[in-house]
Amino acid sequence: MIIAHISIIPVGTGSTSISNFIVEAVETLKKSGLNVMITPMGTVLEAENLEKIFKSIEECHEALHKIGVKRLLTLVLIDDRRDVERSMVDKIRSIEKKLGYSFQQCNNDDRDDDATNEHEGET
């Protein structure tokens, strides 16, 4: 299983907010059939081979260009482990087991989950 962390950064959009572009990219990734996990700083993909990873990145680029983005910077980090089969969830569970708790419980943010952030929607 190949796990890749990608960040696609639109440049020159006239706004510091990129959440609308992230939504477009994530919707495109959903159609790819890959396992997808969004994070605050990028998106993690899981696929059987590199071809599927790169194809999904290409599809995101095309989708973003279609909605008017003229320039994209893309960062890709690939974990291509061949000695043992591990999913992205397996990797998280391994760390949580060593920590002795679920990482979701390690939230130092005192805000109520339902509280509205003044910058909500601005990514």
pLDDT digits (tens, 9 = 90+) for 105-119: 555 655 555 544 555
Window from 1-5, 56-60, 91-95 with minimum mean pLDDT: 91-95
Alpha carbon distance 103, 81 (integer Å): 23
Q: What is the residue extent of each domain of the chain? A: 2-83
- Side by side, the strands of the sheet bearing 71-80 are 35-39, 42-47, 2-11, 71-80
- What is the predicted pLDDT for the residue at 102? 84
Instruction: Read off the pTM.
Output: 0.80
Percent of the chain with pLDDT over 90: 76
Q: Is 57 helix (H, G, I), strand (E, B) or coil?
A: helix
Dump pLDDT digits (tens) for 48-76.
999 999 999 999 999 999 999 999 999 99
Q: Tell whether the model's pLDDT for residue 121 goes beyond 80.
A: no
Pick 2-83's CATH classification: 3.30.70.930, 3.40.50.12780, 3.40.50.360, 3.40.50.880.
3.30.70.930
Vertex 43 angle, CA 95 and 70, to 5°: 160
